[in-house]
Structure 1
Amino acid sequence: MNESIWSKTVQFPERPPLPGDLTADAAVIGGGLAGVLTAHFLKETGLRVVVLEASRVGSGQTKNTTAKITSQHGLIYHRLLEQIGEERARQYAEANQRAIEEYRTLIAERRMECDFAEAPAYLYSTAERESLEQEFKAARLLGIDAALCDGAELPFPVAAALRFDRQARFHPMKFLRTVAEPLEIYEQTAVQSVEGNRLQTDRGTVTARHIIFATHYPFLNVPGYYFMRMHQERSYVLALENAAQLAGMYLGIDEDGLSLRPQGDLLLLGGGNHRTGENSAGGQYRKLRETARRYWPESREAAAWSAQDCMTLDGVPYIGRFSSSTPNWYVATGFQKWGMTSSMVSALLLTDLIVKGESPWEAAFTPQRFEPTASAKALMQETAQATKGLARKLFTPPRADIEALPNGHGGVVEYDGDKVGVYKDNSGEVFIVSIRCPHLGCQLEWNPDEKSWDCPCHGSRFDYRGNLIDNPAQKGLEHE
C-alpha cells in the first residue's frame, strides 16, 4: 500500500488499549487531528478527557493530507454569501482565519519542530477570470486579505490567480505527535456502540458526560442520518524530487486542476479527484506521473499516496451537537478537502460548546442546518447514488470469470453461482471477498489504482483481503 511522506518520517509511541471500565468528563472517539486537538483544548480547561482510537493515533486521514493550513477553500465565499448570507459566511471565514492563528500560536508556544512555514495560498484557472474575481470580492467583503495576480511561479500559463496571504503549511504527523503526547489515549480500542453517556468498546465501557465523534465519518447511522447527507471522494498525490521550488501553495479551480505545494526539497503534486467507488478504469496515478514528466522531466518520484474526504450537501463541515435528541453528543465531520483547518475549527468550536454552552461560529457549522437552496439538489443526488449502489447488487451481471482475470487485477466475477469480488495477485494467488458493503449493503467497486474495494454509496473501503480501510463500515468483508 502507498505511504505518505508524513507517515514515512514519523514514528508514534504505542499507547495501551483501554484497561477496563472507566469514567471521564469527556470521551473523544478518534485519534486523528480533530480528535486530538479537541482533547487538547478540553484538557486545558481542567476536564478529564480520554481518547479512544480503534487503531493507532494518526492512522486515519491525517497522515494522507497535503497539510495546507488555509482559509482558502476553493470557490466557497461567493457561494456562501449567496446561499447562507453575509452573517454566517463571515462566521465561516472568521473561524478558519482564527484556526490559522491558533496553529501559529500553539506551535510557537510549544516550540514545536513540525516544519511550520508561512506561505501564500493561490487559486488559479487556466481558462477564465470571472469566478476568481467574484471570489476575490467576496473574500475582501468578509475581511480576508486577498489579491488578484498572475500566478507567474507556475510552469504553465494561467488566466488569473487569487492569492490569500498569511496562510501556512506544516508536517501534520510531527505536530500531531507533539500535541498527543500528554493526553490520555487508548489505542486498539474500537467503540462498538454508544447509548446515552456510555460507550461500549471491545475493551470495556467508558462513561462520560460529553461524547465527541471525531472518526472522519460517523459510524452511527441513527440519530444524525449523516450517511444521507455526505459522500466521500478520493484524490491522489505524488511527492517529487528535483522539481520546481515553489514559494506558494496552489489549487486549480478547473475540472482537471492540480494541487501543488512545497515540502522541504519536495514538490507535492495532487489531483485525480473522483467519488469513492467510481474509479473502475483507474489511471489516476498515471495521469499525475504524465503531468510530472511534462512539466518537470528531470523529477523523480519519492512517494505516492491518496486521500479520502467527506463532502457535505452544502460544502460546509458539520461541527456541533450530533443531533437534537442527544444534547451531550458532539460531532466533527464533512471537512471537504480542508481537514487541517477544519480540525482546528472543530476543536475550538466544540470546546466552547462543551465548556461555555455556545460558540460564536455555531450557526455556520451546526449539523442541524438544512438550507433548501444549498442542500436540496445535493440530497436528491445522494439518494440517487445510494439507490444506484444497491441496484448494482441486484441487477448488474458478473463482469468476468476467475480464469479470465489477469494476474495483478481485480473485478466482480461469478463464483459458485454468486457474484464475488476477486483479486488475483502477480503470482496468480486468488483472494475472494463479498462485494456487499457491511455498512448498508451497497455493491462495492474495484479500485485498480489502490487495489481496494470501495463503496460508491458512502465511501467505506476495504483492501483486497477484505480488511477495513475507511469507515463508516465497522468491520471487514466476508472472504473465502
Structure 2
Amino acid sequence: MESVWSSEIKFKKREALDKNINCDILVIGAGMAGILTAYMLNKSGREVVVIDAKAIASGVTKNTTAKITSQHDLIYDKLIKEFGEEAAKQYAKANELAIKKYKEVIDEEGIDCDYEKKDAYLYSFDNVQGLEDEYNAAKKVGIAAELIDEVNLPVNVKKALKFNNQAQFNPLKFLKAISEKLTIYENTTALDITEDNTVVTKNNIKIKANKIVMATHYPFLNTPGYYFMRMHQERSYVIALENAQNVNGMYKGIDKNGYSLRNYKDLLILGGAARRTGENEQGGAYEELRKAAKQFYPNSIERYHWSAQDCIPLDNIPYIGYYSSKTSDIYVETGFKKWGMTSSMVAAMIISDMILGKENDFSKIFSPKRLNITAAMKNAANDMVVTAKNFIAQRIDIPEEKLKDIQNGHGGIVEYNGEKAGVYKDKDGKVYAVSTKCAHLGCELKWNADELIWECPCHGSRYDYKGKWIESPTNKDLDEI
C-alpha cells in the first residue's frame, strides 16, 4: 500500500546523526512543514539542521491528496461567528498567500512538480444553506468565490461553492527539490528536550540548538503545551483510479460521508471514508470507496490505495507559534486538520518570520496561546469521553475471545495469561502478540482491519502488528508479549 506520490519519487538516503552537535536552528520532522520551514530559514542565511525519526517525507506528507487551497470545508462562516471578521480575514489572507508562495518557490527554483492551477469546489446534495452562508463569509474575508448549480461530477448536486485560483501538485517532487541542499539526518529520533534547549535522541545523541521547531505532525512532548488535550486524530482513505473522469478541479463533499476528488495525470484520486483513529476495527473503509468508484465510474480500475492521518484541533485552526508560554525558543507546527499543504506553508511563513524577528500580520489567529471558545470546549469534552472510555477499557471489560478465535490474516484483543494482549495471526498462522497499552499515555489500542495496524483512539499513535512505532505522539514501540 503506497500513494501515487511515493510510487514515483524516491529520496536520497541521509545518514543518521552519530555524534553530539551544536546548531543555530533545529527542525524536528522532515515532512512538508518542517522542510519548508528549514528551507525558508536557510534561504535567509541561517544555519539549520533537520532530523527525522525515519526518513524525509516518510510520514503524513506522502499520503496527502496534495490540494493547495484556502477552501477548508465550511470554515469562514464559523470563524466569523466565533472569532470575528478580522480574525477570519487573517486566516483567509494566510492561506491565500500560501498558495501564491508555493508558486513563487516553484518558479524561483525551477521545480517540475506537476503544479496546476485549479478551482476548488464544495458541493452538497442537501445543505444549500451551509454553502450560502460560507459564500457570504468568503466574500467578507476577500476570497473570490462563486455559488453554482452544476459541477463536473457524475451526480446532480443541489449547490456548489467555487473558490477560484487554487492549485494542486505532486508534493514529493516539490519536497525533493527544496530539500536537496538542506542538512538532514534521518533515523534520528528525538525523545526529549531539556531546559537548556538540548534535544536528546533515541541513541543518546545530544543536539544543542538556539531555536527548536517541532514539526512532527503531532508533538511528542506532553508538557508543557498539553497538545494531547487539544487534538484528536482521524484517518481518511484514498484510491486512485484509471479510466475515470477528468473532473477538472478539486472537490470536497460537505455532507456526511462526502467524497474528495481530484485528478493527477491520467488518474482520478477519490478520497473519503474518514474515521477517528482507532475506530476501524471491522475495516471496510476501502470497500466503501471501491463501491462508490463502481457506482460513479463503472469502467474504472484501481491502481493505488493509501490512507492519511490528520490532527484535528479543538477549534479547527492549526496551532502555529511558541510551543508554550514557558518555552520562548521552542516553536510548534501542528493541528493542520485535513489541509496540510497550505497549512504547512502558513506554518513555515509564520515560524520563519518569528525566528527572524519579522512582523507577521496573521500569526495571532494561529497562536497556540489563543483562547478556546465555547464550541471548542464541547469538542474537548467529547475527546475526554473517548479517552476516559478507553482508559477504563484497559482495566476492565476483559474480552471473552480466545486466541483460537483470531483467524489467519486477522487481529484483535484477547485474554492472554490473565492479561489483555493484542494478537495478529499472519496468513500462515504465526502469532504476533503485543501489549494493548499505548506507549504514549496507556490508552487501550484498537485494531485497524483495513491496514493491519494497532491504533490509539485517544491520541492517534499507531503501531504495526509487531508493535513497531509508526506515528506520533508516541515515539516508542509496544512491549511484546
TM-score of the pair, normalised by structure 1: 0.98
Q: How does 1:260-409 map to 2 (within 5 A)?
A: 260-356=261-357, 358-409=359-410
What is the distance in 1 between the residues matched to 2:375 and 2:362? 19
Contact 2:82–2:373, Cα closer than 8 Å, also in 1: no
Please tell me the root mean square deviation across aligned C-alpha atoms, in Å: 1.0
Is 1:113 aligned to residue 112 of structure 2? yes
Q: What do residues 338-368 of structure 1 show as CA deviations (whole Å, max 9, x unaligned)?
A: 0000000000000111111542112100001
In structure 2, the partner of 1:236 is: 237
**Distance (Å, rounded) in 2 between the aligned partners of 1:59 and 1:431:** 25
In the TM superposition, what is the alpha-carbon distance from 1:383 to its structure 2 partner?
1.6
Counterpart code for 1:240:
L
Using the TM superposition, give the Cα deviation of residue 180 of structure 1 relative to its aligned residue in structure 2, in angstroms.
0.5
CA deviation string 1:266-300 (max 9, x = no partner) = 00000111110011221010010011111111110
**Cα shift at 1:370:** 2.0
Structure 1 equivalent of residue 460 of structure 2: 459
| 8 Å contact kept, 2:26–2:212 | yes
Q: Which residue of the partner structure matches residue 155 of structure 1?
A: 154
Tell whether the 8 Å contact from 2:151 to 2:160 is kept in structure 1 after alignment: no
CA contact (8 A) 1:114 1:171 kept: yes
Distance 1:279 1:150 in 2: 35
CA distance in 1, matches of 2:172, 2:342: 15
What is residue 45 of structure 1 aligned with on the other side? 44
CA distance, structure 1, for counterparts of residue 411 and residue 197 of structure 2: 43
Can you list the C-alpha shifts for 1:415-467, whole angstroms capped at 9, x where unaligned? Answer: 11111011111221111111000100000001101111100000001111111
Residues in 1 aligned to 2:186 and 2:416: alpha-carbon distance in whole angstroms = 38
Q: How far is 1:374 from its partner?
A: 3.5
Q: What's the offset of the Cα at 1:141? A: 0.6
Partner of 1:145: 144
Amino acid paired to 2:308: A
C-alpha contact 2:313 2:337 (8 A) present in aligned 1:
yes
2:214 corresponds in structure 1 to 213
- 8 Å CA contact 1:282–1:447 kept in 2: the answer is yes
Give 1:399 deviation, angstroms: 4.4
- 1: CA distance between counterparts of 2:359 and 2:325? 15
Between the aligned partners of 1:399 and 1:242, the Cα distance in structure 2 is: 47
Instruction: State whether structure 2 residue 156 is matched by structure 1 residue 183.
Output: no
| Cα separation, partners in 2 of 1:151 and 1:399, compared to 1, 3 Å | farther
Q: 1:392, CA displacement in angstroms?
A: 1.0
In structure 2, what is the equivalent of residue 97 of structure 1?
96
Matches within 5 A, 1:55-70: 55-70=54-69
Q: Name the SS for the 1:354 alignment partner.
A: helix
Q: CA deviation at 1:127?
A: 1.4
**Which secondary structure does the structure 2 equivalent of 1:292 belong to?**
helix
CA contact (8 A) 1:20 1:203 kept: no
Give distance in 2, aligned partners of 1:343 and 1:83: 24
Residue 411 (structure 1) aligned with residue 412 (structure 2): yes
**Counterpart contact for 1:260–1:270, Cα < 8 Å:** yes
Q: Which amino acid aligns with 2:361?
A: P
Distance in 1 of aligned mates of 2:18 and 2:427: 42
Contact kept? 2:315, 2:373, Cα under 8 Å: no
Please say if residues 318 and 331 of structure 1, whose CA atoms lie closer than 8 Å, have aligned partners that are also in contact: yes
What CA deviation, in whole Å up to 9, does each residue of 1:35-81 have, x standing for no partner?
00000111111110000111100001000000000000000000000
Letter in 2 for 1:200: V
Shift of residue 414, structure 1, vs aligned partner: 1.4
Question: What is the alpha-carbon distance in structure 1 between the residues aligned to residue 407 and residue 20 of structure 2?
Answer: 50
Query: SS at the partner of 2:291?
Result: helix
Query: Given residue 26 of structure 2, which amino acid in structure 1 is its aligned partner?
Result: A
**Residue-by-residue CA offset, 1:364-392 (whole Å, 9 max, x unaligned):** 00001123324211121222221111011
Give 2:8's aligned residue: 9
Provide the residue aligned with 1:197 in structure 2: 197
Conserved 8 A contact 2:236-2:275:
yes
Q: Is the 8 A contact 2:234 2:275 kept in 1?
A: yes
> Which residue in the other structure is 2:429 paired with?
428
In structure 2, the residue matched to 1:135 is 134
Question: Retained in 2: the 8 A contact 1:19–1:203?
Answer: no
User: SS of 1:400's equivalent?
Assistant: coil
- Taking the aligned partners of 1:207 and 1:40, their CA distance within structure 2 comes to 20
Residue identity matched to 2:103: R
Q: Residue 397 of structure 1: CA displacement?
A: 2.0
Counterpart Cα distance in 2 of 1:366 and 1:358 = 14
Q: Structure 2 length normalisation: TM-score?
A: 0.98
What is the CA–CA distance in structure 1 between the aligned matches of 2:359 and 2:228, rounded to whole Å?
26
| DSSP 3-state at the match of 2:287 | helix
- Report the AA paired with residue 189 of structure 2: A
C-alpha separation between the residues in 1 aligned to 2:92 and 2:3? 30
* AA in 2 matched with 1:423: Y
- The SS at the match of 2:91 is helix
Point out the more displaced range, 80-89 or 196-205: 196-205
Contact 1:189/1:203 (CA < 8 Å) preserved in 2? no
Secondary structure of the corresponding residue to residue 84 of structure 2:
helix
Give distance in 2, aligned partners of 1:140 and 1:90: 10
Determine helix, strand or coil for the equivalent of 1:157.
coil
Structure 2 contact 197–209 (Cα < 8 Å) conserved: yes
Q: Give the conservation status (yes or no) of the 8 Å contact 2:234–2:310.
A: yes
Unaligned runs of 5+ in 1: none
Q: Distance in 2 between matches of 1:58 and 1:246?
A: 28
Looking at structure 2, the residues matched to 166 and 23 of structure 1 have their Cα atoms a distance apart, in angstroms, of: 43
Q: Distance in 1 between matches of 2:252 and 2:394?
A: 37
Taking the aligned partners of 1:328 and 1:312, their CA distance within structure 2 comes to 23
